[in-house]
Structure 1
């Protein structure tokens, strides 16, 4: 189990709570691991209060052994999926990580910083002439598109200014097939109950007579089911009962509670399992959200980044966003995310059960895509409302 497991869950849940508190009927999708990876690349150049706040908000300060090299932990996760398949082996799923350093060629960077990104993050590193403007935008967007198999084709729109020093970008792409796929013949139009009390007809996928890790926690007024992909990745669905609501479930969750709930799951025969076929896309303005979670210093003009450039420069993060998309369908799931730190900006001035049991997700629920080997939370979200735009 990776030491990044707990931070990826707790940071993701804290982020989800922050977003849903502003609008609890919103559909949300994010990749906690993508944010953590991108900001760990920032963290490697940070010091003082800036370093402390990044660690605290990402929950990296909860890692048991603080002497552990955090970038080394990132490397372990990425490296475990870079091992090439042996001849004749069948690829079980696709999980690709990409990291990019797009540096302003007019600035000199510390060799140790650049080498660390290449070694521990397997980052592509390029020196570019920022005076090219729109060509820089096209190069970054092309890199993101290639690394997400065209699921995310644009992550930045505005060209860099002469004061921009670098861009740091992370991408994650997942493609998995259900261990027990849904039959398209069993996908039917049915009612989904939106969080605002309205209903909508949507495509609902059905599996009958299969066994899953499952629990109905009457004390918590929720059900949990694990839908495995071929390989060691799973989707975890948490469905509140009719007497409960999704916001309360999310508010009560942390990594310890989630682990306890998952440990209570047992292999259970489900008479019927029904979930919607859906596609979600989301975008998060991290430069607005992370400061509200306590990460203010990296975005302020007195931020401390002494380990990036050879000569000390007054650097701070000017803009940062994440885009994420997920498609859940009969054969499996495709999910991708891209997180960009848009330039560190330089200041101009310086047991088996037999009763009939069902899991029918026809109302708001939350979901995780989890690496069962490392325990890392790759993607997470909540589905509150279905609309025609979200049908596949």
Structure 2
């Protein structure tokens, strides 16, 4: 049986699928609350697994990983499919429900306003020697708006074609997803590119940005931004949290800061998605000052072990994985790797964020007061959420910074 490769590459900067401007009016986008909550619980669990392996700054897009795996599960069968659905928290839902809810959620997340841009596109680059299973092709095209383009894998220009597409779709924040020459045994790549650019509703004045210490593993000097505004805020026994909205409040960054003398790890150990949601709902407008470092991050992770710990064992096992619904080939398939790359820039004007998820499939054949003061001069955690759906799009933590 000859060896061949399938790679599913998903490039994400948030989570939306763009539509043609001339398409018919979209159907009503009502999101099942239980599905939405399940996706956020997966986000929380994935972040916890990644943080167990990492010792430093972390920035992931759990929704990017969720969508990448949701597309992949359309090619799975039997116990492989069951384990993947369970790891995604979707074991009580059908694959049809998963796809339909993702389609509606992506449509509801699509945004283009004066202060917020959120756009996305999907493509499948198919080795012209192979054929997709009809159902798999139908699902990824119908629910994830993926266009299938047949390419000559042996042509060096194919890598340039794919990378140019990725670069254009992500406003040059993700410049490369594949390297030439491509493996001649590559069967397909499934690519999703999303771009997000959000201006703060209340911008940090550049003249207020000053050099200040950040007390991480070692003391460093950072460019510290400052804002005085009425903001949604909540103080708990071990931490405080503030909401920094984008645009007209359609999206937000939530910053969680441990109290003095409490470590971020101690707060995280006592915090669940449910308790985070409870605190978020209790936040109320309050006059205060926020000091936030101006920073940028580029991170890269391999998520195999994290996903295996979440229950996706068979999908990575070449002897037991079953992706027979993906191609017309009889060769056994399994997930060889799940890679995740992210980009983030936070400045006085707003935030740009990017993520790349590659799924490679291999085959053979406190007290209240009138004001508050919150200075992020020590390790802190943050979340970027879409407010209407309450979807957690990104989660990060800052352990150390330098100017």
TM category (shorter chain) comes to 0.7 to 0.9
Q: Does 1:53 align with 2:83?
A: yes
1:203 aligns with 2:223: yes
Q: In 1, distance between residues paired with 2:95 and 2:132?
A: 25
Secondary structure at the residue paired with 1:60? coil
Alignment of 1:151-162 (within 5 A): 151-157=173-179, 159-162=181-184
Worse-superposed segment, 104-113 or 66-75: 66-75
Partner residue, 2:194: 172
- Give matches, 1:117-136, under 5 Å: 117-132=140-155, 134-136=156-158
1:236-288 deviations in whole A, cap 9, x for unaligned? 11111112111122233322111111112111111x11110110111111234
Contact 1:214 1:266 in 2 (8 A): yes
Distance 2:38 2:335 in 1: 22
C-alpha contact (below 8 Å) 1:287/1:320 kept by paired residues: yes
Does 2:401 align with 1:386? yes
Distance 2:137 2:94 in 1: 23
Cα shift readout 1:154-213 (whole Å, capped 9, x = no counterpart):
22336443333222223332111111111000000011110x2x21110011012x1111
CA contact (8 A) 2:286 2:370 kept: no
The answer for the alignment partner of 2:47 in structure 1 is 16
Separation of aligned partners in 1, 2:276 and 2:391:
13
When normalised by structure 2's length, the TM-score is 0.85
Query: Which of 197, 209, 232 in structure 2 is aligned with 1:187?
Result: 209
Say which of 65, 82, 89 aligns to 1:35.
Answer: 65
Structure 2 residue 157 is matched with structure 1 residue 163: no
Cα distance in 2 for partners of 1:50, 1:13 equals 23
**Counterparts of 2:70 and 2:265 in 1: how far apart (Å)?**
30
CA contact (8 A) 1:280 1:326 kept: yes
Runs of 5+ unmatched residues, structure 1? none
Q: Please show how residues 1-392 of structure 1 align to structure 2 within 5 Å.
A: 2-3=32-33, 4-24=35-55, 26-61=56-91, 66=94, 69-82=97-110, 90-132=113-155, 134-157=156-179, 159-194=181-216, 196=217, 198-208=218-228, 210-218=229-237, 221-231=238-248, 232-270=250-288, 272-301=289-318, 302-342=320-360, 344-347=361-364, 350=365, 355-388=370-403
Distance 2:125 2:356 in 1: 15
Q: Residue 341 and residue 100 in structure 1: after superposition, are their counterparts in 2 closer, same or farther (change >3 A)? A: farther
Give the whole-Å Cα distance in 2 for the aligned partners of 1:142 and 1:250: 40
Would the aligned equivalents of 2:74 and 2:95 in 1 still touch at CA under 8 Å?
no
Instruction: Give the aligned CA root-mean-square deviation in angstroms.
Output: 2.1
- Report the Cα distance in structure 1 between the residues aligned to 2:186 and 2:95, rounded to whole angstroms: 32
Offset of residue 303 of structure 1: 1.2
CA contact (8 A) 2:302 2:338 kept: yes
